[in-house]
Amino acid sequence: MIRRPSLPLAQLIDLLLPVAAVALALLVGAGFLLGLGVSPLMAYGAMVKGALGNTSGITQTLTKATPLLLVGLGICIAFRGGVINIGGEGQIIVGALAATAFALAFPTWPRWLLLPATLLIGALTGMFWGGIAGWLKARMGVNEILSTVMLNQIALQIMNFLLRGPMLDPEQIAAGTNIPQSAALPQTVWLARLVPRTLFHSGAILALVLAGVVYVLLWRTTIGYRIRAVGLNPSASRYAGIPVPRYAVLALALSGALSGLAGAVEVTGVHHRMMEGISGGYGFSGIVAALFGKLHPLGTVPASVLFGALLVGADKMQRAVQVPSSLIVSLQGLVVLFVVASELYVRRRTRRRVGGGTPEPTPEAPPRSAASPSVTVLPQE
């Protein structure tokens, strides 16, 4: 991937910065653990053992990594395109809702038709949800950070409404328990399990393939080049004749599509029904994974596995040494803070290399090599 031979050391440091950020976060976490009177070695040991120590742990890790990767790929597209998509949670929810409703509406369709159609519906609904934020930004000038946050809440309320009313499982009504979840999906729409008697499903393969697709899209197509150009320098892109607002909509819509697909995959692969908490914080954790992967689709793959392992390990740690798994949420936050803070170093060096006070390379400059992205300063409103 590293095509530019110059400054190999600098590039090595670029790659190591996120690793250092995680190490630093774990170090702070060790401080927390000591404060709680728990041996960090024992707690982290339980995490590693739980997440990677046996088949069950590994498959759980990969199962968690799947939605993280899908959301993270969407984040790569959005952030590369200079739009900040915080709406992953909402996009997952609407994707999962639509996929569930669709599969329940056409249970008699054959598998070869129903399964792809269900996943597609999930992706399209997420695309629509992300596209709203894109349209609001392009046409109305509404900050996408705010609109995606609002759309998260709206999606959440739609879910609460549907799962307590129209979509509530008839069996729940009959039993009088009224647990807010939908009826079970027909078996024809379940994603195949890759390892028997685990939750690990073929959605992981789909996500992996899409990582390649997103890479090709961003670095091998005109559309992808333009998305990145708009992200790096919107005004130069405008002069180059790129319709900037249209690409902002596109970036958000594609990002939403991947999150919506993540929702559909969770429903068809793991839960086999729609239920509360389906988004599981993946909308935010996906951002963390994408940042850790340097906003590169292929970097996001190992990043998703790492954060999937952290999520699974945290649950195991909770059971083994009674340390609440929320520790990992706060460590994720620290990773984000450390990664974005460390970008200053990358930015300063890039500028020195470009020479003088040129703030950001224009899209006319040779496209950056895949290994040295520095989407640090996203464009302003």
Partner 1 sequence: MLEQLFSLATIVGILHSGVRLATPYLFASLGETFVQRSGVLNLGVDGIMLMGAFTGFYVVFRGHPLWWGVLAALGVGILMGLLMAVVSVTMQAEQGISGIGLYLFGLGLSSLLFKTLIGSVEGVSGFPRLHIPGLSDLPVVGPIFFDHNVLVYLAYLMVPLTWFTINKTTFGLKVRAVGHNPEAADSLGVSVDGIRYLTLMVGGALAGVAGASLSIGLLNVFQENMTNGLGFIAVALVYFGSWRAVGVLAGALLFSMVNALQLWVQVLDIPIPSDLAVMLPYLLTILVLALTARQIHQPAALAKPYERGE
**From candidates 7, 12, 341, 365, binder to partner 1 by CB under 8 A:** 341
In angstroms, the Cα distances linking 211 to 73, 168, 282, 367 are 7, 35, 17, 20
On whether the CB atoms of residues 47 and 310 are closer than 8 A, the answer is yes
Nearer to partner 1, 220 or 319 (CB): 319
**Which residue stretch of 39-47, 194-202, 250-258, 373-381 sits at the interface with partner 1 (rule: CB under 8 A)?**
373-381
Which residues are within 8 A (CB) of 347 and not within 5 positions of it... i.e. 6 or more apart? 374, 376, 377
Nearer to partner 1, 137 or 226 (CB): 137
147 binds partner 1 (CB under 8 A): yes
Beta bridge partners of 181: 275
328 binds partner 1 (CB under 8 A): yes
Nearer to partner 1, 147 or 233 (CB): 147
d(CA 249, CA 81): 10
The total of other beta-carbon atoms located within 10 Å of residue 177's CB is 9
The b/e string for 126-165 (b: 16+ C-beta within 10 A; e otherwise) is bbbbbbbbbbbbbeeebebbebbbbbbebbeeebeebbee
136 binds partner 1 (CB under 8 A): yes
Contacts to partner 1 from residues 253-312, by CB under 8 A: 284, 287-288, 291
On whether the CB atoms of residues 370 and 80 are closer than 8 A, the answer is no
225 binds partner 1 (CB under 8 A): no
**Which residue stretch of 168-176, 213-221, 300-308, 372-380 sits at the interface with partner 1 (rule: CB under 8 A)?**
372-380
What tokens appear for 75 in the block?
């984040």
146 binds partner 1 (CB under 8 A): yes
Nearer to partner 1, 156 or 194 (CB): 156
**From candidates 10, 48, 117, 149, binder to partner 1 by CB under 8 A:** 149
Which residues are within 8 A (CB) of 9 and not within 5 positions of it... i.e. 6 or more apart? none
178 binds partner 1 (CB under 8 A): no
| CA dihedral (291, 222, 133, 138) positive or negative | positive
Which residues are within 8 A (CB) of 10 and not within 5 positions of it... i.e. 6 or more apart? 349
Instruction: For residue 14, count CB atoms less than 10 angstroms from its CB and return exposed for 0-12, middle for 13-18, buried for 19 or more.
Output: buried
Instruction: Tell me the closest approach of the beta carbon of residue 194 to partner 1, in angstroms.
Output: 30
d(CA 56, CA 66): 16
**From candidates 13, 24, 52, 84, binder to partner 1 by CB under 8 A:** 84
**From candidates 13, 321, 329, 370, binder to partner 1 by CB under 8 A:** 329
172 binds partner 1 (CB under 8 A): no
**From candidates 8, 277, 324, 367, binder to partner 1 by CB under 8 A:** 324
Closest CA to 90 of 37, 146, 41: 146
Instruction: Tell me the closest approach of the beta carbon of residue 88 to partner 1, in angstroms.
Output: 10
Instruction: Tell me the closest approach of the beta carbon of residue 332 to partner 1, in angstroms.
Output: 5
Side chain identity at residue 63, one-letter code: T
Nearer to partner 1, 121 or 163 (CB): 163
Contacts to partner 1 from residues 35-74, by CB under 8 A: 36
d(CA 374, CA 379): 13
20 binds partner 1 (CB under 8 A): no
Nearer to partner 1, 119 or 306 (CB): 306
What tokens appear for 198 in the block?
């685990």
d(CA 34, CA 189): 47
Instruction: Tell me the closest approach of the beta carbon of residue 305 to partner 1, in angstroms.
Output: 19
334 binds partner 1 (CB under 8 A): yes
**From candidates 39, 54, 55, 157, binder to partner 1 by CB under 8 A:** 157
Residue 188 DSSP symbol: G
Instruction: Tell me the closest approach of the beta carbon of residue 366 to partner 1, in angstroms.
Output: 24
13 binds partner 1 (CB under 8 A): no
Interaction site with partner 1 (CB under 8 A): 32, 36, 79, 84, 86, 136, 140-143, 145-147, 149-154, 157-158, 160-161, 164-165, 284, 287-288, 291, 323-324, 326-337, 340-344, 347, 357, 376-378, 380-381
